[in-house]
């Protein structure tokens, strides 16, 4: 359903000779090419060349596969000549049953079967695909540091970050009530416990060593979750070794359990504690008593102060394995893509409503109930809710255990912690919860999933047997009623015979999906995230869930040689942000910031459609359609928001450009105004010059040819005026914009010159400064003008303000 995980994972090609053309996926009646890679069984459609998800399954997800031979339906007379059809049934741990049909008289089925026999159950841990592909860029940091970070959060040390460089400081961390101990740092105390443990502060490491010998597999009582405000504690352990008559006792164990009951008054530990102690035994009472014959058993309330022993009656791993198998058969039988190639609407007389008569429908409902899966889920939910209520409402101490303390105990403790602590309902908190209660405290993932581990070969090929299928045709994936098959002539199975495999972890995730249905706003992650999460675990694509304990993963070098699932999922979500399908769009942390305490009447589980029905009923598997529609609308909204942001940026850019143009235009206006002012000033100056020169008896003409014409001779002009005219003509030649022509009029030209001469004679007659050389003005003084002429380089603004023009030269 979520192929992006596998696109990242598979960097391989089909193994040599392990492929087949013209193979039919019976579930959907689609032809294609079937091949076996070192990671998965791959089915590609011949028509579209697309990968068909139903027919593509990781090798580690395959639970078992079976060869079957059937004869096609035909008349009785031709039954002996009817060709047989060769089938290969593949059953997955993820609720799918796949049926492949091969052409007769070919060796394709044999090659596929042999490849699956070789690669689905590797003999050694290092033969798994996750070791061959390496960590890539999904490096797994040390989970022991992350466990310490979670311990510090529980103790109230939220601002301390664990590091492998300061182990002494890490293990010495404590508050007033509890402390972190390194007594199991080398795993000699308990091989299946983590290297660091939280214990009561007043318990010494020597007491821990003594108490461990009284519990099965040395899994002594330790703190899994605690509340530093109320002193409430959720602890876990394995069964006590009390024996058949429940007569064995341990002072160290009783002292340790009593120390778990911390009564806090005004932030201090009360010496006289009246806190209630509940001992929750996950097993049925009869099973606990039966374990007493083998040295185990359960506690006696008389041996533990103010205690009460409660039995939850949850069945063992074998019952869970058989229950899920029956549920898988039910879903395949009544699905739309069943492994026999028929829809449930065509079976049992498809002419009636609902795909069969009413009696057959009632039988199908009865089959669902007989699977027992929903009852088991309800038992786990009810037990976890009871534990959470005792811790939250009474601030009590609850000690949970089963036989070994790593299956039912882990389910109850982790689910109760999820109900108690809102942090565990976030992405980051969910990772911390899984790594603490499931991985660090030694849930045997290798045994439960049937994969090898370092302490043994696990489910190796030597443990896999060929056996005759004992399943009846009415309940198997090969059915005769209304189908195209007539009879089974032979079959052989290649499956897992180990009694240790069980869907314990899958059942726990199923319980979380039920809580999501009851509290749709309480979880940051969606049901789609849980489906992808389970696919990652079952496929063994990543190294996080290999082996049976923290010790084994450290010995195998899993953290350094395998990719990290958490990094992959985080990168996946980061690509799309909150619009990714893994995010719950209705998550409201403020609404559910306290413990979730569901009532018993609300704990009525249903089939988890996104997981249980996704292969057999694809259209009905979209149980979160409202959520899916929200994601579609959210994506559209995100696209529109991005478009809006681009439009706003573009508008801002246009505004900036407009402002720049307006500023440039304003500068141009100022420059134009300045030019006009300068032009007016130049015009006035030219007019003043023109008047001054005309007053000297010269003609002034303006032209644009760049030339300076001079009529007559300049020698008749005064020497200072000649210098100014020469400078003016030089500037005019340089600019070439405007030329000024000054023509000096001869003595005998016209009346104007006569007038000037007459005026000159008058001045010469009466001028007291007159000499023999003639008038020296403007170089000399003049009694009429009163001063010397300052020439063309004078201050023309001041010159323009003089009134001498009208007085001496007249108006123009």
- Cα–Cα distance between 677 and 667 in angstroms, integer? 15
CB 778 within 8 A of CB 720: yes
* DSSP per-residue codes, 593-662: -S-----GGG------HHHHSTTT-TTTT-TTHHHHHHHHHHHHHHHHHHHHHHHHHHHHHHHHHHHHHH
| Number of CB atoms found within 10 A of residue 274's CB | 9
Contacts of 769 (CB under 8 A, 6+ apart): 776, 780, 781, 782, 783
CB 737 within 8 A of CB 704: yes
- Cα–Cα distance between 18 and 81 in angstroms, integer? 30
Output the six-digit token pair for 546.
């290999």
| Angle, vertex CA 38, rays to CA 36 and CA 40, nearest 5 | 55
Of the residues 402, 511, 536, 547, only one is catalytic, namely 402
| Number of CB atoms found within 10 A of residue 267's CB | 9
**What is the DSSP code (8-state) at residue 83?**
P
- Cα–Cα distance between 760 and 210 in angstroms, integer? 141
- Cα–Cα distance between 511 and 381 in angstroms, integer? 6
Contacts of 265 (CB under 8 A, 6+ apart): none
Instruction: Dump strand ranges (E) for 3-52.
Output: 19-25, 30-36, 40-45
CB 319 within 8 A of CB 372: yes
Q: Burial letters for 669-691: b for 16+ Cβ neighbours within 10 Å, e otherwise?
A: eeeeeeeeeeeeeeeeeeebbbb
Cα 313 versus chain centre, distance: 39
Q: Read off φ and ψ for residue 774, nearest 5 degrees.
A: 105, -170
CB 432 within 8 A of CB 603: no
Largest CA distance in the chain: 163
Whether the CA torsion 382, 387, 391, 394 is positive or negative: it is positive
Assign residue 238 a region (left: φ > 0; alpha: ψ between -120 and 50; beta: otherwise).
beta
CB 275 within 8 A of CB 396: yes
Give the CA distances from residue 786 to residues 113, 224, 601, 602, 800, in Å, rounded to whole numbers and listed in that order. 130, 116, 124, 121, 18
The answer to whether residue 402 is catalytic is: yes
Q: Which one, of 45, 31, 35, 23, lies nearest residue 101 by Cα? A: 23
Three-state secondary-structure class, residue 168: helix
The catalytic residue positions are 402
């Amino acid at each position: 359903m979520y192929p992006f995980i596998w696109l990242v994972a598979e960097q391989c090609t089909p193994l040599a000779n392990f492929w087949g053309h013209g193979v039919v996926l019976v579930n959907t009646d689609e032809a294609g090419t079937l091949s076996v890679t070192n990671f998965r069984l791959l089915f590609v459609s011949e028509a579209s060349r697309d990968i068909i998800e139903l027919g593509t399954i990781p090798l580690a997800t395959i639970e078992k596969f079976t060869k079957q031979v059937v004869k096609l339906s035909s008349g009785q007379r031709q039954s002996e000549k009817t060709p047989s059809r060769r089938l290969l049934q593949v059953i997955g741990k993820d609720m799918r049953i796949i049926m492949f049909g091969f052409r007769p008289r070919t060796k394709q089925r044999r090659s596929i079967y042999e490849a699956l026999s070789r690669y689905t159950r590797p003999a050694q841990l290092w033969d798994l695909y996750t070791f061959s592909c390496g960590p890539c860029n999904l490096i797994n940091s040390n989970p022991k540091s992350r466990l310490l970070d979670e311990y510090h959060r529980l103790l109230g040390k939220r601002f301390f970050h664990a590091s492998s460089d300061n182990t002494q400081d890490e293990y010495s961390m404590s508050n007033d009530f509890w402390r972190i101990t390194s007594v199991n740092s080398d795993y000699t105390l308990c091989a299946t416990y983590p290297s660091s443990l939280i214990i009561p502060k007043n318990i010494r490491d020597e007491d821990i060593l003594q108490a461990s010998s009284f519990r099965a597999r040395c899994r002594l009582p330790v703190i899994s979750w605690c509340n530093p405000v109320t002193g409430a504690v959720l602890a876990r352990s394995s069964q006590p070794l009390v024996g058949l008559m429940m007569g064995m006792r341990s002072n160290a164990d009783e002292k340790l359990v009593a120390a778990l009951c911390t009564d806090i008054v005004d932030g201090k530990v009360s010496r006289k504690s009246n806190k209630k102690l509940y001992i929750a035994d996950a097993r049925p009472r009869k099973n606990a008593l039966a374990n007493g014959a083998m040295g185990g058993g359960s506690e006696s309330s008389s041996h533990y102060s103010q205690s009460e022993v409660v039995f939850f009656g949850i069945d063992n791993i074998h019952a869970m394995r058989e229950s899920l198998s029956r549920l898988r058969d039910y879903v395949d039988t009544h699905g739309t893509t069943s492994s026999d190639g028929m829809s449930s609407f065509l079976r049992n007389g498809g002419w009636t409503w609902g795909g069969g008569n009413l009696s057959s429908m009632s039988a199908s409902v009865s089959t669902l109930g007989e699977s027992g899966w929903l009852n088991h889920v309800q038992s786990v939910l009810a037990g976890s809710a009871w534990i959470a209520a005792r811790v939250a409402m009474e601030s009590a101490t609850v000690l949970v255990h089963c036989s070994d303390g790593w299956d039912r105990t882990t389910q109850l403790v982790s689910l109760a912690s999820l109900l108690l602590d809102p942090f565990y309902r976030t992405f980051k908190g969910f990772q911390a919860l899984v790594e603490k209660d499931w991985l660090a405290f030694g849930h045997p993932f290798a045994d439960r999933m049937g994969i090898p581990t370092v302490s043994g070969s696990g489910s190796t090929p030597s443990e896999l047997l060929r056996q005759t299928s004992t399943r009846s045709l009415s309940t198997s994936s090969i059915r005769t009623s209304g189908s195209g098959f007539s009879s089974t002539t032979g079959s052989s199975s290649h499956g897992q015979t180990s009694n240790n495999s069980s869907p314990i972890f899958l059942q726990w995730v199923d319980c979380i999906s039920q809580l999501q249905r009851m509290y749709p706003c309480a979880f940051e992650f969606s049901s789609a995230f849980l489906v992808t999460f389970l696919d990652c675990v079952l496929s063994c694509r990543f190294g996080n869930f290999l082996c049976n304990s923290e010790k084994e993963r450290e010995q195998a070098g899993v953290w350094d040689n395998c990719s990290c699932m958490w990094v992959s999922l985080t990168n996946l979500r980061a690509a799309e942000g909150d619009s990714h399908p893994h995010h719950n769009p209705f998550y409201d942390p403020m609404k559910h910031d306290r413990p979730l305490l569901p009532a018993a009447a609300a704990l009525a589980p249903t089939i988890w459609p996104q997981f249980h029905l996704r292969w057999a009923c694809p259209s009905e598997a979209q149980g979160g359609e409202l959520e899916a529609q929200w994601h579609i609308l959210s994506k559209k909204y995100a696209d529109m928001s991005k478009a809006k942001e681009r439009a706003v940026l573009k508008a801002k850019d246009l505004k900036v450009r407009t402002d720049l143009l307006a500023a440039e235009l304003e500068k141009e206006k100022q420059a134009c105004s300045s030019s006009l002012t300068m032009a007016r000033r130049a015009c006035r100056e030219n007019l003043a010059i023109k008047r001054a020169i005309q007053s000297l008896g010269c003609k002034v003409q303006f032209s644009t040819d760049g030339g300076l014409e001079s009529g007559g001779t300049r020698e008749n002009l005064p020497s200072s005026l000649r210098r100014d005219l020469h400078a003016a003509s030089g500037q005019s030649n340089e600019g070439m914009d405007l030329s000024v022509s000054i023509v000096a009029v001869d003595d005998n030209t016209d009346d104007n010159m006569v007038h000037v001469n007459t005026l000159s004679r008058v001045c010469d007659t009466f001028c007291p400064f007159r000499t023999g050389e003639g008038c020296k003005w403007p170089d000399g003084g003049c009694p009429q003008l009163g001063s010397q002429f300052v020439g063309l380089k004078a201050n023309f603004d001041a010159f323009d303000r003089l009134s001498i023009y009208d007085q001496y030269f007249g108006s123009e």
